[in-house]
Chains A and B, each alone.
Chain A
Amino acid sequence: MANTGWDEFEIGAMLRTFDGKIDDIAGTLQEDRNYTQNSSFTASVADWRIEKPVFNKDYCIDCQFCWIYCPDISIISRDKKMIGIDMDHCKGCGICVEVCPTNPKSLLMFPEQAEEEAELAKWPAKDEEK
């Protein structure tokens, strides 16, 4: 892409979402769709994130709140089961953590450079006052 010349792309201020023809988008999971390189599904748009959510499945009740509230469709859920976070699209806004109802929370924000394993190992305990 970086070396593509002026004569090597389609005319117009126009980008295609998929390579080739598509017919059943609604019935096809994102990972099975033939997105182009130009699609923001393929490209990382998360490079300005400074804090990231870390998911701890030990406490998750699969309530789907985070999936519903995420403004960037970055919560990956399959068959009503929370799987993880799409880190190519998550901007680190923290809304998923805010809406998580478990005690302790199943999602917490950490600095972008934090080690996930280390953070999971010292996950806070249940807050008895609540």
Chain B
Amino acid sequence: MAFDKMELRDIEVWDGNFAAAQALRQCQVDVVAAYPITPSTPIVEGYAKFQSDNYVEGEFVMVESEHAAMSACIGAAAAGGRVATATSSQGFALMVETLYQSSGMRLPIVLNVVNRALAAPLNVNGDHSDMYLGRDSGWIQFDSYSPQEAYDLNFIAFKVAEDHDVRLPAMVHQDGFMTSHTAQGVHTMTDDVAYSFVGEYKPMNDMLDFEHPVTHGVQTEEDWHFEHKARQHNDMMTKVMPKIQTVFDDFEKHTGRKYNIVERYDMDDADVAVVCMGTSVETAREVATEMREKGIKAGVIGIRVIRPFPFFEIQEALKDVKAIATLDRSAPGGTCGMLFNELAGALYSAENRPLMSGKIYGLGGRDLTKAHLVELYTELQANVDAGKVTTPLQQFIGVRGPKLSFL
């Protein structure tokens, strides 16, 4: 191949954005079409620099909007290339129409979403509003809690998405600034090991196969649309989770790093547990350990795969737990938080139904402190002792003014 390889140390000090950019280089992505937006810009900027420095054989396409970015990605993927891009917040919102196109067209694009709040008021900091906006779009969604995971999950996302039984696009989420701009030690793979893990891209129904012409992006009305959507949902529900597990296992063999569909921390004998995503998982783990010194058997559930939602894995992980709290980092707009709803849905038909309450926290980059979590675990233990939820079902953490609670 006509590009240069890059020498990496075993451990590099990278932030989440640079880790993701390195992963796109090592996967030898053919096309990145992108429009810059804080805090995701350095990912596509990084790919562009690698490309112009001859470290990757691909095309970087500058476009006029995020809608155009994903549209160009769709075209490149339908043509038969390995395709990726990155975005955040308002850019993600502008991309939404095309997200449904790419999943419906079964194009395995990888989108790095550096999570950021949605305006108004305008805000560049991290929360999960954009992540939640994409949750019905038919994309696989992986969540990382650190730069290391943002790096690793990109390889995993390509390998899952591009499988011919799957052929669904995948998002890799990381928290804006907390992950994207915080440099940490990242264990690297060499270029050869990384590329051998994802493998060469195998096109399917590609437009550049001139001996088998195809029309992509067809219209169907009431006569066909339902069958297409049913097929897509069936594949998402039945084929993706087994493939993710296989790829996680394969990745562990390659690197020694183990990923789980639901990440359990101190859950073997836990009475109380917090269910959360992103960088909050690491904070919650630290607090859970400290709570055990105070006699509270605390655990943490981190959601690694948001879509497809790990319905049965959640039932299994919480089968002996007495009280849980879901942490939703997105304004729920008139209902419970997404995690509260999903967990309630999974647990309602489970044999063990822990006491449940939901918290809204961290909007627009507001810190979730260890003190908040100490208070939360203490409250969950009080629920266990009382045998019922002692608070309203929905509460806000860390907002100034009179205490807010609903339901």
Contact = CB atoms under 8 A, between A and B. Distances in A.
A23 B104 CA distance: 29
A22 B167 contact: no
A21 B104 contact: no
B105 to A, nearest CB: 5
B235 interface: yes
A48 interface: no
B217 to A, nearest CB: 6
Interface in B186-213: 205, 211-213
Nearest to B167: A11
Interface stretch (A1-9, A58-66, A105-113, A117-125): A1-9
Interface residues of B, number: 23
Interface stretch (B225-233, B272-280, B315-323): B225-233
B106 A12 contact: yes
30 contacts: A6-B226, A6-B227, A6-B234, A7-B231, A7-B234, A9-B231, A11-B231, A11-B232, A11-B235, A12-B105, A12-B107, A12-B167, A12-B205, A13-B104, A13-B105, A13-B217, A13-B218, A14-B105, A14-B205, A14-B216, A15-B214, A16-B213, A16-B214, A17-B213, A17-B214, A18-B212, A18-B213, A22-B212, A23-B211, A25-B213
Given A21-B211, A22-B213, A14 B218 contact: yes
A100 to B, nearest CB: 33
A115 interface: no
Contacts, number: 59
Given A5-B227, A6-B227, A12-B105, A17 B215 contact: yes
A17 B207 CA distance: 12
Interface string B70-110: 00000000000000000000000000000000001111000
Interface string A17-42: 11001110100000000000000000
Contacts of A4: 227
Contacts of A23: 211
A9 B214 CA distance: 14
Interface size class of A (residues with CB under 8 A): 10 to 19
Contacts of A10: 205
Nearest 4 pairs of A and B residues by beta carbon? A12-B106, A6-B227, A6-B230, A17-B213
Contacts of A22: 211-213
B220 interface: yes
A6 B233 CA distance: 11
A33 to B, nearest CB: 11
Contacts of A15: 214-215, 218
Contacts of B231: 6-7, 9, 11
A127 B228 CA distance: 57
A4 B205 CA distance: 20
A11 B106 contact: yes
Nearest to B235: A11
Contacts of A21: 211-212
Given A6-B230, A7-B231, A16 B212 contact: yes
B214 A14 contact: yes
A34 to B, nearest CB: 11
Contacts of B167: 11-12
A15 B105 CA distance: 11
B211 to A, nearest CB: 5
Contacts of A7: 231, 234
A16 to B, nearest CB: 6
A65 B378 CA distance: 86
A31 to B, nearest CB: 18
A21 B218 CA distance: 21
B243 to A, nearest CB: 15
B212 A12 contact: no
A32 to B, nearest CB: 16
Nearest to B230: A6
Contacts of B107: 12
B265 to A, nearest CB: 37
A19 to B, nearest CB: 10
